[in-house]
Structure 1
């Protein structure tokens, strides 16, 4: 049987597009997305990956890493993306093992500590640079090298760190941090070097002028650092001819694979002619409301994507201007990938609904 390869293919990656079924039943009962509904109803299911409750990486991170060959196809909980993030931020990862470190706020709850979504900090580059200037000498005293091509993302390397298993910030956000703190990947023990490094930085930022000014403005203090994504850059290859994403790891993988990489387009129409090959677009408006459990804002994000992406993409598919459209919807633990062609849209007997995909 001959396989038809469509020359202009679009793949949309949608992190945090799959809430848990319990959340959906309570808060997402009035969704209105006819274009997405039709695409999901008629599409062919390509892959469904069921995750686990205590995985430290996010399903869309693992999906991207697999697509580019940065991890094995059967990898369960790996996303060693720091070297590719460093590349996208303008650094040179080389053959060293890098970890990404971000300044964060940890909130004291009743009987535990809770990590706050880093994007909710509203941390300016100037503030981050001042905090880094205080922390960097303390880190380097421990024999750890620091690269900071961008003030809000730092990259650490050094034999003293060892090989650490850290959790993605958005995986741990909103939860007690105890089980998500970095540990030695071989022994499973809490990393002493990381605990010492973290404590040194926390003490240096206590009553720091940046934090005093932030608290005076009613903003949370930057009171800790978070390590994640440690790994060594591997040779990668891209199944996409163009990658558009605001996620630094995704752009970094594209750069490492030698393909065009840029920020996500504002809409389907802004993409312009797709040309030959497959274009990947990663769209991230679900992340912040998903982490905050703000389902009204989540629905607003869905409405914007329906208008700007799903409806025009469906029209392009129906008229033949788009050869194929793939959708990868990810949640907190799992992901689903579906593909729709013009022929699939005529399969009226297919009845899949969005709610059936929720975790």
Structure 2
């Protein structure tokens, strides 16, 4: 049951993660943000699909939008339930096997909360990650989970116990309190309990590992745990569509709450990818734009307009185009 990807190029589709964020500091930066190309582009497009939830859903809007864009759906064509998007299986040559991503991280214990710092923010390299992986792998094997080292910041896990475990994506928990995201999976309660036990074992194992002291000596955050995400399996033959263009600059800045860098990234995106998409629209070519915040994702296209849509377009021209930031603050 392989998951294959189409070789043909997709219609031009720009999918923008963290086009907006819930942080009040981001909202303050967003108001009045000059995005002339995006304003002009939105005036040429029509809403095609809106996916709304809360900013505490397990799967982030940009992940749900990406799954929809590439056709990562269940056998009956419906979307996967919250927290059950099988990203690791989708990237595998054996997608019928339950799999997940295991991300080494640092849990920062504060007075009132525990905050997760992912490997990317720890400057984690093979020098420290590989020994920790080698130490944890036998413990996972005892519970029927096979670990494979993919990179310093992402390890691959496979095993039947990973089937049906709902888990929050790493983009949801990075830089945030993890308490709201520590959920049990009703589809696989035994697996959820096993995962909690394995996380506790990893915490003790990593704390006594030489890599822990080595990183502290370098004044680096030590790795003291891991986060599981993208768990599950694909139980039907699936042909995935080509992946849309996914700029990461906004995401990277947002996950570190660097709103000055986030603003600069939006201005650069507006004069780059957004401008290019606008030029395609003006040449009469089909395009898709998906803007994703932390609560919802809105998809826009330049599908052929009917009489009502054309009339609406004339009215918009007469009244003037609403600035793009007003659309972004609804996400």
**How high is the TM-score relative to the length of structure 2?**
0.82
> CA contact under 8 A between 1:183 and 1:189: conserved in structure 2?
no
Map 1:181-260 onto structure 2 (within 5 A).
Answer: 181-186=182-187, 191-233=192-234, 234-240=236-242, 243=243
Partner of 1:81: 87
1:94 offset after TM fit, Å?
A: 4.5
Kindly report the root-mean-square deviation, in angstroms, between the aligned alpha carbons of the 2 structures: 2.8
CA distance in structure 1 between the aligned counterparts of 2:157 and 2:221, rounded to whole angstroms: 25
> CA contact under 8 A between 1:115 and 1:174: conserved in structure 2?
yes
Partner of 1:62: 64
Gaps of 5+ in 2: 1-8
1:238 offset after TM fit, Å?
A: 4.0
Whether 1:292 aligns to 2:256 is yes
Partner of 1:281: 245
1:287 offset after TM fit, Å?
A: 1.1
> CA contact under 8 A between 1:317 and 1:342: conserved in structure 2?
no
Partner of 1:120: 121
CA distance in structure 1 between the aligned counterparts of 2:13 and 2:245, rounded to whole angstroms: 6
Assess, with a 3 A threshold, how the Cα gap between structure 1 residues 94 and 355 changes in structure 2: closer, same or farther: closer
CA distance in structure 2 between the aligned counterparts of 1:324 and 1:161, rounded to whole angstroms: 40
Gaps of 5+ in 1: 1-6, 244-279
CA distance in structure 1 between the aligned counterparts of 2:37 and 2:161, rounded to whole angstroms: 52
> CA contact under 8 A between 2:98 and 2:162: conserved in structure 1?
no
Whether 1:339 aligns to 2:309 is no
Assess, with a 3 A threshold, how the Cα gap between structure 1 residues 129 and 226 changes in structure 2: closer, same or farther: same
> CA contact under 8 A between 1:165 and 1:230: conserved in structure 2?
yes
Partner of 2:325: 355
**How high is the TM-score relative to the length of structure 1?**
0.76
Assess, with a 3 A threshold, how the Cα gap between structure 1 residues 30 and 181 changes in structure 2: closer, same or farther: same
1:193 offset after TM fit, Å?
A: 1.1
CA distance in structure 2 between the aligned counterparts of 1:126 and 1:323, rounded to whole angstroms: 49
> CA contact under 8 A between 2:33 and 2:325: conserved in structure 1?
no
1:309 offset after TM fit, Å?
A: 1.6
Assess, with a 3 A threshold, how the Cα gap between structure 1 residues 227 and 238 changes in structure 2: closer, same or farther: closer
Where 1:311 maps in the other structure, the secondary structure is helix
Assess, with a 3 A threshold, how the Cα gap between structure 1 residues 26 and 94 changes in structure 2: closer, same or farther: closer
1:192 offset after TM fit, Å?
A: 2.4
Assess, with a 3 A threshold, how the Cα gap between structure 1 residues 22 and 340 changes in structure 2: closer, same or farther: farther
Higher strand proportion, which one? 1
CA distance in structure 2 between the aligned counterparts of 1:47 and 1:94, rounded to whole angstroms: 28
24, 35, 38: which one aligns with 2:40: 38
Question: What CA deviation, in whole Å up to 9, does each residue of 1:251-308 have, x standing for no partner?
Answer: xxxxxxxxxxxxxxxxxxxxxxxxxxxxx21111111222232211111111221232
1:158 offset after TM fit, Å?
A: 2.7
> CA contact under 8 A between 2:106 and 2:117: conserved in structure 1?
yes
Whether 1:158 aligns to 2:159 is yes
Where 1:328 maps in the other structure, the secondary structure is strand
Whether 1:302 aligns to 2:266 is yes
CA distance in structure 2 between the aligned counterparts of 1:239 and 1:161, rounded to whole angstroms: 25
312, 317, 326: which one aligns with 2:276: 312
